[in-house]
Amino acid sequence: MQYTISNPMQLIELFTLKTESKKTVDEIAENMPAACDSFNFSLLKEYNYHEIVESKGFPISRKVYVFEICRAKMASEILTENPDFSIFMPCRISVYEQNNHTLITTMNMEPMLQVFKNNQSLYEDATGLFEAIKKMIESLG
């Protein structure tokens, strides 16, 4: 299947939620475990991509952290309802530098959560989870 997209950046913008922060990338990375605890998320994994790619011989000029977070109960409910959704899991939050700014980003789940509209309870819970992620990002910034 081939897709023709007239403006690929619009697609990325649709699926990305960005927040700018006055804090440094390192400050946000240090605060991520406590923020996860405060918002009842498990911090599954942290990737220091700037270090990973440099160790492979491909240094980049910015710091990029990616955090995988989860709420196991919600993951169980979503995977029970629709295992295809697993490609979007676990939830990820990225923190990086761009043009002398610190950005905190995550996937905009709103378009994809529409798949659960036929299960009102799950839709409300999943929407609540996304709201918690947005609040956590705000607290980090």
Q: Is 32 part of a structural domain of the chain?
A: yes
- pLDDT (0 to 100) of residue 12: 80
Work out the pLDDT band at 7, boundaries 50, 70, 90. Answer: confident
pLDDT for residue 1 is more than 80: no
- Structurally, how many domains does the chain consist of? 1
Q: Is 95 part of a structural domain of the chain?
A: yes
Burial (CB < 10 A; 0-12, 13-18, 19+), residue 30, is exposed
- pLDDT (0 to 100) of residue 102: 97
What is the amino acid identity at position 41? Answer: F
Q: Supply the CATH number for residue 108's domain.
A: 3.30.310.70
- pLDDT (0 to 100) of residue 5: 72
pLDDT for residue 112 is more than 80: yes
Question: CA-CA distances (angstroms) from residue 76 to 9, 81, 85?
Answer: 32, 9, 11
Q: Is 87 part of a structural domain of the chain?
A: yes
Question: What's the 3-state SS for 24-87?
Answer: CHHHHHHHHHHHHHHCCCEEEEEEEHHHHHHHCCCCCCCCEEEEEEECHHHHHHHHHHCHHHHH
Comparing CA positions, the residue from 31, 22, 48, 28 lying closest to residue 101 is 22
CA distance 122 to 113: 9
- pLDDT (0 to 100) of residue 3: 67
Which residue range forms the structural domain that includes residue 104? Answer: 13-140
- As a whole number, mean pLDDT of residues 90-94 equals 96
Q: Is 8 part of a structural domain of the chain?
A: no
Q: State pLDDT tens for residues 36-67.
A: 999 999 999 999 999 999 999 999 999 999 99
Q: Is 3 part of a structural domain of the chain?
A: no
pLDDT for residue 10 is more than 90: no
More confident residue, 93 or 1: 93
* Whole-number percent of the chain with pLDDT over 90: 82
Q: Is 4 part of a structural domain of the chain?
A: no
- pLDDT (0 to 100) of residue 96: 97
Burial (CB < 10 A; 0-12, 13-18, 19+), residue 22, is exposed
Q: Is 7 part of a structural domain of the chain?
A: no
Q: Is 131 part of a structural domain of the chain?
A: yes
Q: Report pTM.
A: 0.90
